[in-house]
């Protein structure tokens, strides 16, 4: 956590993680999966694609007990996470789109918090 918190991306990701947690609490039920095909905006597709590409590396690092490596890999999501929250309204009027976005955020949140609750770093 010390190595991650020293990264320039740490504060932004911690704040995003806290925001995701709040959205998930508000949503109540969180679908277990998501479908990139239901994503309509470039920013959500970009984040989902980046996450899917990165997820195996994070899993490998986590399974090898390389928690610093896993967190540093997650730190590379800073730009697409920021773009997502700048452009995407999670609570869309279309219930399928909304549920898909919530499912995606649930998956992202779970991966980000496998090692520690990153939102605790947010100020």
Q: pLDDT at position 60, please?
A: 94
Q: pLDDT at position 1, please?
A: 66
Rounded to whole angstroms, the Cα distance separating 81 from 1 reads 20
Which of 2-6, 16-20, 79-83 has maximum average pLDDT?
79-83
Residue 49 pLDDT > 60: yes
Q: Determine phi and psi for 77, rounding to 5 degrees.
A: -85, 0
Residue 106 belongs to what domain range?
2-121
Strand spans (E) along the chain: none
Per-state percent for the chain, helix, strand, coil, to nearest 5:
70, 0, 30
| 92: CATH | 1.10.730.10
- pTM of the model as a whole: 0.87
- Of the pLDDT bands very low, low, confident and very high (cuts 50, 70, 90), residue 6 is confident
Average pLDDT over every residue of 14-21? 86
- Whether residue 44 contacts residue 35, with contact meaning beta carbons closer than 8 Å, is answered with no
Residue 121 pLDDT > 70: no
Name the domain count of the chain.
1
Q: Which residue has the higher pLDDT, 68 or 94?
A: 94
């Amino acid at each position: 956590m010390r190595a991650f918190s020293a990264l320039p991306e740490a504060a932004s990701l911690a704040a995003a993680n806290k925001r995701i947690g709040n959205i998930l609490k508000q949503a109540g039920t969180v679908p277990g999966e998501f479908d990139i095909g239901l994503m309509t905006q470039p920013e959500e597709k970009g984040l989902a694609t980046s996450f899917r590409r990165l997820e195996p590396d994070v899993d490998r690092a986590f399974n090898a007990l390389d928690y610093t490596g896993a967190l540093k890999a997650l730190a590379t999501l800073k730009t697409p996470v920021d773009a997502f929250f700048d452009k995407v309204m999670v609570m869309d009027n279309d219930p399928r789109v909304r549920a898909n976005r919530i499912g995606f955020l649930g998956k992202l949140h779970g991966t980000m918090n496998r090692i520690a609750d990153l939102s605790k770093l947010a100020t």
